[in-house]
Amino acid sequence: MKKITPHLWFDDNAKEATEFYTSIFPNSKITDITTLHDTPSGDSVTISFELSGYPFIAINAGPIFKFNPSISFMLNFDPSRDKDAKENLNKLWKQFEPGGKVLMPLNRYPFSEWYGWIEDKYGVSWQLILTNPEGEERPFIIPSLMFVGDVSGKAEEAIKFYLSVFKNSRIGQLARYPKGMEPDKEGTIMFADFMLGNSWFATMDSARRHDFNFNEAISLLIPCESQEEIDYYWERLSAVPEAEQCGWLKDKFGVSWQVTPAIMDEMMRTGTRKQIDRLTQAFLPMKKLEITKLKEAFIEG
């Protein structure tokens, strides 16, 4: 299975944001830029990029959804792999500060010698942590899901559900809230991480009052090799029929996923303007994507 890819929904500044990110993360680059014409949001630009080798996709699609901390990105600075880990953490933090918002200041915490949580000038949230080098090595970038509001306390249920859906998956670390940390209920998830296929994720519950929840601003894209694979994930993950559109779905916890054929990325990268336009008009009316119809639209004429 290819890596599950975070998909970031911007209003109209995806190119500016991706150029910023690829300039401040080491070993990073924009790999493809494609324009989708005549979508409900007008002409939309999609950008594939890598941050320290980790794949992302960004899109300009209008001011419909706003980023919030329900999905953030944990950045693991591991002293066993980088002797300048703390220095590099501080350096990246300073890049995020202008125009950003500090959610948890850089400091020493019970769970880390050096940690901070910050929202950058585009609204995307990052958790920078000096990792304990003991135990199993983790990737530098890990998407992190925070279960709040109506789904607070359901992080463990979500982990078990995702592990049942994705093959070759397993739990990693798991720490529970102890007694006396109200409003967080004893036994709920203070921190956990888990692997889905070859992609790591982190999660936590938070019973504190928040004015946000999961939305489509950050979705998780599952690249599929066959229609059978698309059908498999669609059947198991989709729980909100009205949210089904263009390969997008919402699961029972409110997390947004995109279930897409891997070949679609290749068609978008290599197609002519006419081929991409036909492909766009073919997938826009679809809910679950159908590979045969997409291929037919691409090669038509």
Residues 179 and 277 in one domain: no
Instruction: Say which CATH number the domain at 137 has.
Output: 3.30.720.110
C-alpha span between 9 and 224 (Å, rounded): 21
pLDDT, residue 298, reads 85
Q: Last residue of some domain: 205, 224, 242?
A: 205
Task: Show the tokens assigned to 71.
Answer: 């999905």
**How far is it, in rounded angstroms, from Cα 296 to Cα 97?**
48
Question: What is the C-alpha to C-alpha distance for residues 255 and 116, in angstroms, rounded to an integer?
Answer: 24
Q: Are residues 293 and 184 part of one domain? A: no
115's enclosing H/E stretch is: strand 112-119
| Token couple for 116 | 């901070």
89 and 170 belong to one structural domain: yes
Q: Work out the angle at residue 71's Cα, subtended by the Cα atoms of residues 69 and 72, and round it to the nearest 5 degrees.
A: 75
The span from the CA of 221 to the CA of 224, in Å, is: 9
**Range of the structural domain that residue 156 is part of:** 71-205
The answer on 252 and 229 residing in a single domain is yes
Token pair, residue 254, equals 């409110």
Same-domain pairing of 201 and 219: no
Asked if the structure places residue 239 within a domain, the reply is: yes
Helices (H), 25-129: 85-96
Q: Is residue 135 part of a domain?
A: yes
Last residue in a domain, options 205, 226, 242: 205
**CATH number for the domain that contains residue 21:** 3.10.180.10
- Same-domain pairing of 102 and 190: yes
84 and 169 share a domain? yes
**Are residues 151 and 239 both part of a single domain?**
no
Last residue of a domain, one of 175, 205, 235: 205
Say yes or no: 132 and 164 in one domain: yes
* Alpha-carbon torsion (160, 199, 70, 221), positive or negative: negative
Question: Same domain, yes or no, for 189 and 94?
Answer: yes
In-domain check, residue 98: yes
Mark whether 220 and 276 lie in a shared domain. yes
Is 89 contained in some domain? yes
**Distance of alpha carbon 193 from its chain centroid, rounded?**
14
* Structural domains counted in the chain: 2
**Is 210 within a domain?**
no
What string of pLDDT tens digits covers the 301 residues of the chain?
678 999 999 999 999 999 999 999 999 999 999 988 888 878 889 999 999 999 999 999 988 999 999 999 999 999 999 999 999 999 999 999 999 999 999 999 988 999 999 999 999 999 999 997 677 889 999 999 999 999 999 999 999 999 999 999 999 999 999 999 899 999 999 999 999 999 999 999 999 999 999 999 999 999 999 999 999 999 999 999 999 999 999 999 999 999 999 999 888 888 888 988 899 899 999 999 999 999 998 887 5
Same domain? For 114 and 201 the reply is yes
Distance between CA atoms of residues 126 and 202, nearest Å: 13
Tokens linked to 255: 């997390």
Question: Which string of b and e fits 150-180 if b means at least 16 CB within 10 Å?
Answer: ebbbbbbebbebbeeebeebeebeeebbeee
In a domain, 31, yes or no: yes
| Predicted local distance difference test score (pLDDT) of residue 134 | 75
> What pLDDT sits at residue 301?
52
Which residue from 195, 234, 193, 202 is spatially nearest to 125, judged by alpha carbons? 202
